[in-house]
Amino acid sequence: MGFRASQAYSRFWEGASAAYEVTGGLYLVASNLMAFAHHGTASWVEVEYFKQTIARLVSLLSAMMLTHLEGSDSLNTETGYDMLDPGSLDMTRVRVLGKQENKTEVVIQWIKVFIIERVNADMLTIPPPILNRVFQELDLSVGKYQAAEKLSQIPFPFPYAATIELLLVIHMMVTPIFMMNLLAADSSSDNTLLPIPSAGVATFVLWSIHFIAGELENPYDGDKNDLDLQGLQRDLNEKLKTISSLVPDDVPRLIVNAESGSELLQNRINTRTASGRELLRRSDQVELDEWGDEDDDTSSCNFSHVIIGMSETPRTYHRQEFSTSSTGNSRQTSYFAGTDYRRSTPSQGDDRKFKAHMMQASSPPPAPPDIGKIVDISL
């Protein structure tokens, strides 16, 4: 009994790990491919076509894998597995897939062929050693999927399970008789009903362990006590929808110049009070203790505080543009904080002090040679 329960527990967690590693690996495949699509000179239409196709194929592949582990077919039977807009794919090819027996393997090959096709079309121009990582991650996901198949298709050895059940039945019949004989031997005892609960508890414990082991052996059965594979599919779909809409311009950039950014990092200055601390340090008229202990580790903070602090009072930044060549064709833009920045929740006295020192602060650092123009923009 103990051996079977231990094996069932191990199979359950092995199956859970395999399922999450499969969906996680597929997400990495899609994420890398969508990022690589922006490398090169492909048009926006080609990039979006590639990203949207990959999102749908990866979602389809995940659905094929998870439904196969559960023992069903997401194309020929009604299941709870959602796929990302399969109607936008070539339905002629999808209908052919429905007639295939090895659907998962077909979709895997589709993805690989589609990637190679885009490489030959000079759309994926990322260096081959980096692109090779995508195929490695896809192969690792397939390997984890095949390891999960072992758990869903190979049950606990039947002879072992049948022997345990036979012994439990014998134990259930013998235990009450054995307890009654013990009571008859002890004629001085007044607890005539004691054998009944004793036999029931002993039998109940052993049968409970036996049934629990049966529930844990296959975590892909789709029961309430098994893994939520449909939830894994929904989570993957949401992730794919999110990353497929991102473009390089969505990446946040520094709003300060590189020199100021390096100084802020070295002094572990909190984003909320970066400009205030710097200006107060330069003016040297107000103790930094009013703004907090400088020795505190402010290199990391609650991100919600940063958002609140930035949203309550808008900051003014100066955009500085200058040319780096005699022709002026190559331009560089840097940002530095202006004079309208305060803490998210300042007191009235601190606020007045802070405004006064901000007005007395020194002018922005000198710009590099060949200055073009300086304009103000408010965020």
What pLDDT was estimated at residue 235?
95
Percent of the chain's residues with pLDDT above 70: 66
Both 141 and 179 in one domain: the answer is: no
Same-domain pairing of 170 and 279: no
Amino acid identity for residue 336 in this structure: F
Residue 182: per-residue pLDDT: 73
Looking at residues 168-173, what average pLDDT do you find? 90
Question: In this structure, are 171 and 231 located in the same domain?
Answer: no
Could you give the strand order of the β-sheet that contains 371-378, starting from the edge strand earlier in sequence? 331-337, 316-323, 371-378
- Give me the sign of the Cα torsion angle 368, 372, 377, 379: negative
The per-residue pLDDT for 35 is 94
Q: What is the pLDDT of residue 270?
A: 54
Of 216, 240, 266, the last residue of a domain is 216
User: Model confidence over 111-133: pLDDT tens digits?
Assistant: 999 999 999 998 999 999 999 99
Q: Which long-range contacts (CB under 8 A, 24 or more apart) does 222-226 make?
A: 222/70, 222/71, 222/72
Residues 286, 243 within the same domain: no
What pLDDT is stored for residue 229 in this prediction? 92
Helix (H) or strand (E) holding 332: strand 331-337
pLDDT tens figures, 236-252: 999 999 999 999 989 99
Regarding whether 188 and 145 lie in a shared domain, the answer is no
Close Cβ partners of 277 (under 8 Å, ≥ 6 residues apart): 267, 269, 270, 288, 291
CA–CA distances in Å: residue 193 to residues 185, 189, 196, 206: 15, 10, 6, 21
Torsion on CA atoms 10, 14, 15, 19, rounded to nearest 10: 160
Residues 40 and 186 in one domain: no
Task: Note the pLDDT of residue 23.
Answer: 95
* Whether residue 206 is found in the same domain as residue 351: no
2-55: pLDDT as tens digits: 888 888 899 999 999 999 999 999 999 999 999 999 988 889 999 999 999 999
Lowest mean pLDDT among 5-19, 166-180, 301-315: 301-315
Residue pLDDT, tens place only, 68-108: 998 876 665 566 688 898 889 988 888 888 888 899 999 99
Residue of 191 and 274 predicted with greater confidence: 191
| Residue 163 and residue 150 share a domain | no
Per the CB < 8 A criterion, the answer to whether 338 and 256 are in contact is no
Residue 60 has what pLDDT? 94
Quick one: 24 and 171 in the same domain? no
73 and 180 belong to one structural domain:
no
Residue 38 makes CB contacts below 8 A (sequence gap 6+) with 47, 247, 248
Do 227 and 183 share a domain, yes or no? no
Q: Which of 230, 250, 270 delimits the end of a domain?
A: 250
**208 burial type by CB count under 10 A (0-12 exposed, 13-18 middle, 19+ buried):** exposed
* Rg value, the chain, Cα: 33
What span, in angstroms and rounded, lies between the C-alpha atoms of 253 and 266? 19
**Domain residues for 162?**
158-216
- Indicate whether 299 pLDDT > 50: no
Same domain? 168 vs 275? no
Domain count, the chain: 3
